[in-house]
Structure 1
Amino acid sequence: MRLLLVLCFIIFFKYGAGQFQVPDALVEVFQPRGFRVSIPDQEGIKLFAFHGKINEEMNGREAGTFSRDITKAKNGRWTFDDPNTELKVGDVLYYWTYVDYFDGRHRRGYPNDDQEFVVEERLEKDTPRRKITTPAPEEVTDSSGCKSSVTRSSEQATCSGKLIFHDDFNSFDNNLWSPENKFAGSPDYEFVLYTSRRENLEVNDGHLKIRPVLSEDLFGKGFVYREKDLGANCTGVPGSQDCSQRANIYLILPPVASAQISTKNKFSFKFGKIEIRAKLPKGDWIYPELYLNPLNEPYGPDYASGQIRIAFLPGNEHLNKNLQGGCILGSSQAGRNYGMKTIKTDTGTWGDDFHVFTLIWKPDQITVSVDDRVYGNIYAPPRGFVSQFRNLELGDVERWRSGTPFAPFDKEMYATLGVGVGGHTFEDRSDGRKPWRNNDAKGQKKFYKARSHWRSTWTDASGLDVDYIKIWAL
């Protein structure tokens, strides 16, 4: 085993972990004793290893109390099974996993470090695993050569491989996109007023450009301490803070104006492949909004109905080497992080140049890649995402039980492109770099007062530049 671990480390450090990400493990604890740890099988996996301890943290990649190599998948999963150990509610399983993966040319090793699982319930051993069985339409090829697809657009069937949405941004197409005119709000509470002004939103030379600017540069000095009513042009909920806000002692108006456009009520789809070529913004507390959002919020408002992120990158210099993509399951940090995958660049930052960001959304899997490099796969646990509501600190997600195990990502979504600034998107820090704290009523004001620090990092590269967006049926 020691020789195997040494070889694994050599392979891992030689080749890196950019092209494959170890699937998150499913941990099942049984009564009166026994537990099981498994990952879904997928093409290319040649070996799965599990190393763990109970109620004692692992010392790096040590072998642990439990240490085993699994050389064969069974029933669609690579599974470590211990039938004798008794775990109690409240026990913590600390572990790391490892996968040998063959990409067609090289066999490489990939670890998934520093994992832990808190026992909250014990299952009956014979409890059947709930399998994702979203029915796909019968595969039929008609006389025109159209092969049916699981993809749906406006609940209509389409042909497999068909390009169902495409914009090269040679002009702003009002038949495809609607710009937002509203104050930002839940669940991210970004420090932004979204406008359709030319200073924020522009299409020229075949590119969509969205730029954040200080709101006082657009509306005059002292704007943040006044009142603003967007009137009939507001795209938010009439009569709400989406459309009208007034500053008070501690609450100010958004210090930043930006833009966001979407295909809501013009184009939506369920399952497909989406590709965006774009240059992401750089600058403190700026981030791109390349999202798929739920069309009708069938499982509830905010993140109760989920969000899929095609690409996400905080613009801060100390953060923008880490590109993320995946899905959001809730507004808590656990819900925000559970379905997100990360790839790090060793040279420059992800905002230095254009990249092609791709997301494949299937009935049982989400895959994210950049420039044809896959860096993450997200699967639902066999009993569905709803089974993780305690670990994810989610609220009422009982509506998810009415969907497939992949709920809430089993309903139609629409595309969103924009630029956000600040808000709850950034996790609170203890190093003093972040000038506000989430859930602080004075957070937006504290951000504004620190503008001499963050504004100096904003340059001509602080906008989002989109070359094209394409969506295909699976």
Structure 2
Amino acid sequence: MKWSMKKTILPILTFVIAIVSGQYEVPDATVEVYSPRGLKVSIPDEEGVKLFAFHGKINEEMNGREGGTFSRDILKPKDGKWTFYDPTAKLNIGDKLYYWTYVDFFDGERKLGYPKDDQFHEVKEFQVKPGECKQSQTTQNGKSDKICSGKLIFEEHFKTFNPALWSPEVKFADAPDYEFVIYGNYSETMKFTNDKLGIKPTLAEDVYGRDIVFSSLDLGASCTDKSSPCYRKAQGQFIVPPVISSQINTKDKFSFKYGKIEVRAKLPKGNWIYPEIFLNPATEEYGADYLSGQIRVAFATGNMPTKLQGGVIFSENEKGRSYGIKTKKNHKRTVHNYGVTWTPDKITFTLDNEAYGEVIPPNDGFAGITGILPNKYKEIWEEGSKIAPFDQEMYFTIGVGVGGHNFPDSDNTKPWKNSNATQARDFYQNLTTWYETWTPQSTLEVDHIKVWAL
């Protein structure tokens, strides 16, 4: 039943009493808009809630607590929610819903009314109605099984290590980034605490003993990298990597093509440290070492924590590493939701649900861009779709790297040059400078990872 303007006067007085004397706070509403018609607005049920009211308008701000175009009292919850639903409501992408909500709440002694004013929702996408299934463009684990649009196809909350989803890398870092790291399943570098994954690099000598960098190390049968030697010996200008860290991935366990990704995480701080929150190609259809592409969900060097980057890598050369990278300045090193929407037409990067960059292929595809990869590989990309090489399934890699080629030689503060064979030794000799910047804040913390089908 709609409320007239006159009928809102008495409830407003009740609201004032509730605001002054009550402790209940009306929760934020969940707004769902369906195509071609349908609007649902809901709040979770909890003990004490006796009534939920919704009042709203489309593309017109509310005049105080007026009844609005939509105006209804919900007298009982259903399926754990208090829900307003209008199956005839017609909203389009870009429309703005202005609304206020109201709750009658009984605290055990008395029932008071609580409003939540001046709420707003912009329609950016449509949801699939319960019971309906719109065929998604997303694929999963190489199968052509039907996936419904909007379906949550991957969810990880890191309560503990899940070997059904993840595998730890045990290897010496090598091409294409040549980071100065030994990756392993070390308790010193990887922990699961408070429902979070934490990865923090440290010195190799903490595990393998003093002067390990000038000795030798065999990773043995546990080594996971079959393309590179699992044995290193210090000799001449070469040393054993001076840092240990951890890296896990979903290779051969979960991969997908196209979707909406959310990673809730806090990025690490400390000189020459960087987070590895990547999507890597499951089959390397177009070649190895970035020729099949890499999607970086969130990247920020520990030296510059206020500069967030997300984007795609095409090749090892400078343009291939920089062309598809988007930057968000004034990034605060706190917990954020880092997002990627990966479609056949473009890849969009978000911070806390706000877009800060898009990577869009030209009409002739990425293969038509001069300088991002050697000419001999262009024909391979041209065999794929316009967004090739990002038209193949990819898997998650989560870890922390240190040094190497993710820092260009144009950075004059580096104690090494990527072009020098002595780069790891030069980095290690500067240990007293960079290691003092490594603190508990040098930990990558990941709360959760979620993927929805397009």
- Output one character per residue of 1:346-384: Cα deviation in whole Å (capped at 9) or x when no partner: xxx532x10110000000100001012210011001111
Alignment-derived partner of residue 132 in structure 1: none
Could you say what secondary structure the match of 2:439 adopts? coil
Contact 1:281 1:461 in 2 (8 A): yes
For residues 308 and 375 of structure 2, what CA distance do their matches in structure 1 show? Answer: 28
1:204 aligned to 2:184?
no
For residues 322 and 425 of structure 2, what CA distance do their matches in structure 1 show? Answer: 27
Identity over aligned pairs, percent: 48
1:357 aligned to 2:338?
yes
For residues 319 and 283 of structure 2, what CA distance do their matches in structure 1 show? Answer: 24
Alignment-derived partner of residue 285 in structure 1: 272
Contact 1:195 1:259 in 2 (8 A): yes
For residues 447 and 429 of structure 1, what CA distance do their matches in structure 2 show? Answer: 16
Alignment-derived partner of residue 26 in structure 1: none
Aligned length: 328
- Output one character per residue of 1:187-233: Cα deviation in whole Å (capped at 9) or x when no partner: 00011000101111111210001110000111101101111111110
Q: 2:440 is matched by which residue type in structure 1?
A: D
Q: 1:354 is matched by which residue type in structure 2?
A: V
- Output one character per residue of 1:372-423: Cα deviation in whole Å (capped at 9) or x when no partner: 22100110011110111x3325353221111001100000000110000000
Alignment-derived partner of residue 382 in structure 1: 363
Contact 2:140 2:257 in 1 (8 A): yes
Alignment-derived partner of residue 177 in structure 1: 166
Aligned CA-pair RMSD: 1.9
* Shift in Å, 1:143: 11
Contact 1:285 1:314 in 2 (8 A): yes
Could you say what secondary structure the match of 1:304 adopts? coil
Contact 2:257 2:391 in 1 (8 A): yes
TM-score by structure 2 length? 0.70
For residues 295 and 184 of structure 1, what CA distance do their matches in structure 2 show? Answer: 19
Alignment-derived partner of residue 341 in structure 1: 326
| Structure 1: 4+ residue segments shifted above 4 A | 141-144
2:231 to 236, 239, 244: 244
Q: 2:165 is matched by which residue type in structure 1?
A: L
Q: Bigger radius of gyration, 1 or 2? A: 2
For residues 332 and 129 of structure 2, what CA distance do their matches in structure 1 show? Answer: 43
Segment of structure 1 superposing worse, 156-165 or 298-307: 156-165
Q: 2:207 is matched by which residue type in structure 1?
A: L
Could you say what secondary structure the match of 2:420 adopts? coil
For residues 444 and 427 of structure 2, what CA distance do their matches in structure 1 show? Answer: 22
1:410 aligned to 2:391?
yes
Could you say what secondary structure the match of 1:150 adopts? coil
Structure 2 residue ranges without an equivalent (≥5): 1-93, 97-127
For residues 402 and 344 of structure 1, what CA distance do their matches in structure 2 show? Answer: 37
1:187 to 152, 176, 190: 176
For residues 393 and 406 of structure 1, what CA distance do their matches in structure 2 show? Answer: 15
Could you say what secondary structure the match of 1:357 adopts? strand
* Shift in Å, 1:246: 1.1
1:400 aligned to 2:381?
yes
Alignment-derived partner of residue 235 in structure 1: 224
For residues 224 and 375 of structure 2, what CA distance do their matches in structure 1 show? Answer: 27
Contact 1:293 1:413 in 2 (8 A): yes
For residues 190 and 364 of structure 2, what CA distance do their matches in structure 1 show? Answer: 43
Alignment-derived partner of residue 457 in structure 1: 437
Aligned residue runs from structure 1 range 246-285, under 5 A: 246-285=233-272
Contact 1:269 1:414 in 2 (8 A): yes
Could you say what secondary structure the match of 1:403 adopts? coil
2:425 to 445, 450, 455: 445
1:215 aligned to 2:219?
no
